[in-house]
């Protein structure tokens, strides 16, 4: 392990213990579970309650937007001292009550209100969990474990729901139960670290971490970049199935295989980041995965052979998971209070909400090859600002820990 892989006590961040892991990662997963269960929720609404696909889609979109708005509105409170506990408890309680009512009260008005309220509560859970990530040492490792936990639990839930029957009780009841269980762990969330001086570091001693003008610009820029990145990524995912059928003659079985192996690839990618943490560096790996992701988007619109299309989509999903984790690590490292990691998933959901319309419009107007070019160019355009912001996050994290920043390429990859 690198000698820099453990931060000293002066950084204000705390070690990752079993209780903190259960609380931080569990609450974050529950908060973001709504977005992962969208297809199952739509099936349940159309199958049991007779909603049209369009009406079900509108209702779930409203729930996701409520989640995003709640996350953004509570992010400042979550990053303040003690506020994350209130936000987490209220958010998880609303999630359990809202989705629980939708699952077990067979009334359309109750279902509609419950799903929107549940989404609103989930936003609070996302905000509190994201803010708490900032209090943990080694942001790269913590974000990697968080991403791995998210994908692992979602995979288990997606496997369990078909076995139980894709109805309202399983689609919404399981989520309500997870929220109730996570509610019991809120006392284990790490609090906001006490502010520390940056003296003895490469930053001036008068600089207060998380409050400098440079840090604020970096944080705001990161949120904007993340929303645009989410739009470009999820636009491709929105048309992946139809594109596979149209240009690569991929059937439903093939797409099912792509989904399964994509989930496995994401688990592997997030596990690697979680295990190796800072030894991989942050800025260089982020640059590499963004460039690779952009190139795979270009290929996705031109591949016509089923096997190669499967390989491209699976590789792209794997790279996507790694990029997501590294961007989250940048937000965590920028401010130990969680000022930027708290709203990060909220802006992701906003970008993601517009992805289906954006992706289908591009593919219809420019063809799949044209869509791939546009989405790849979006990724390449975000490359420079994200690299700059990542370097800033490295300097801030190093200053708080009283050590030197990670070395630049090529040493960063082995630091």
Q: What are the residues facing 136 on neighbouring strands? A: 14
Give the chain's residues under pLDDT 70.
1-11, 81, 194-211, 252, 277, 401-415
Residue-level pLDDT at 208: 47
Q: Percentage of the chain with pLDDT > 70?
A: 88
| Model confidence pLDDT, tens digit, residues 296-309 | 999 999 998 988 99
The pLDDT of residue 414 is 29
pLDDT for the residue numbered 142: 87
pLDDT score, position 408: 43
The dihedral of CA 164, 165, 166, 171: what is its sign? Answer: negative
């Amino acid at each position: 392990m690198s000698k820099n892989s453990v931060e000293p006590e002066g950084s204000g961040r705390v070690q990752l213990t079993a209780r903190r892991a259960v609380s931080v990662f569990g609450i974050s997963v529950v908060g973001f579970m709504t977005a992962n269960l969208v297809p199952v929720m739509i099936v349940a609404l159309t199958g049991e309650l007779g909603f049209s696909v369009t009406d079900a889609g509108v209702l779930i979109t409203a729930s996701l937007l409520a989640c995003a708005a709640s996350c953004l509105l509570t992010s400042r409170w979550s990053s303040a001292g003690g506020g994350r506990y209130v936000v987490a408890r209220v958010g998880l309680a609303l999630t359990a009550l809202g989705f629980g009512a939708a699952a077990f009260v067979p009334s359309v008005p109750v279902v509609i209100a419950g799903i929107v309220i549940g989404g609103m509560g989930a936003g609070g859970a996302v905000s509190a969990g994201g803010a708490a990530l900032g209090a943990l040492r080694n942001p790269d490792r913590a974000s990697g474990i968080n991403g791995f936990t998210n994908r692992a639990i979602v995979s288990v839930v997606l496997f369990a729901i078909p076995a139980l029957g894709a109805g309202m009780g399983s689609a919404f009841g399981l989520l309500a139960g997870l929220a109730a269980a996570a509610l019991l762990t809120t006392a284990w969330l790490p609090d906001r670290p006490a502010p520390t001086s940056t003296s003895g570091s490469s930053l001036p001693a008068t600089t207060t971490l998380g409050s400098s003008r440079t840090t604020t610009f970096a944080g705001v820029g990161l949120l904007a970049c993340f929303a645009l990145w989410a739009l470009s990524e999820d636009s491709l995912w929105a048309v992946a199935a139809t594109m596979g059928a149209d240009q690569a003659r991929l059937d439903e079985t093939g797409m099912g295989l792509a989904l399964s192996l994509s989930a496995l690839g994401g688990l592997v990618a997030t596990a690697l980041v979680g295990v190796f943490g800072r030894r991989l560096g942050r800025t260089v790996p982020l640059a590499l995965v963004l460039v690779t992701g952009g190139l795979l988007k270009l290929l996705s619109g031109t591949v016509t052979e089923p096997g190669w299309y499967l390989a491209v989509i699976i590789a792209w999903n794997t790279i996507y998971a790694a990029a997501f984790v590294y961007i989250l690590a940048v937000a965590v490292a920028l401010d130990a209070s969680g000022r930027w990691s708290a709203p990060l998933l909220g802006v992701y959901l906003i970008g993601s909400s517009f992805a289906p319309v954006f992706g289908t419009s591009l593919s219809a107007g420019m063809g799949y090859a044209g869509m791939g070019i546009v989405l790849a160019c979006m990724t390449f355009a975000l490359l420079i600002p994200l690299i700059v912001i990542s370097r800033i996050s490295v300097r801030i994290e190093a200053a708080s820990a009283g050590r030197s920043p990670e070395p630049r390429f090529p040493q960063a990859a082995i630091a």
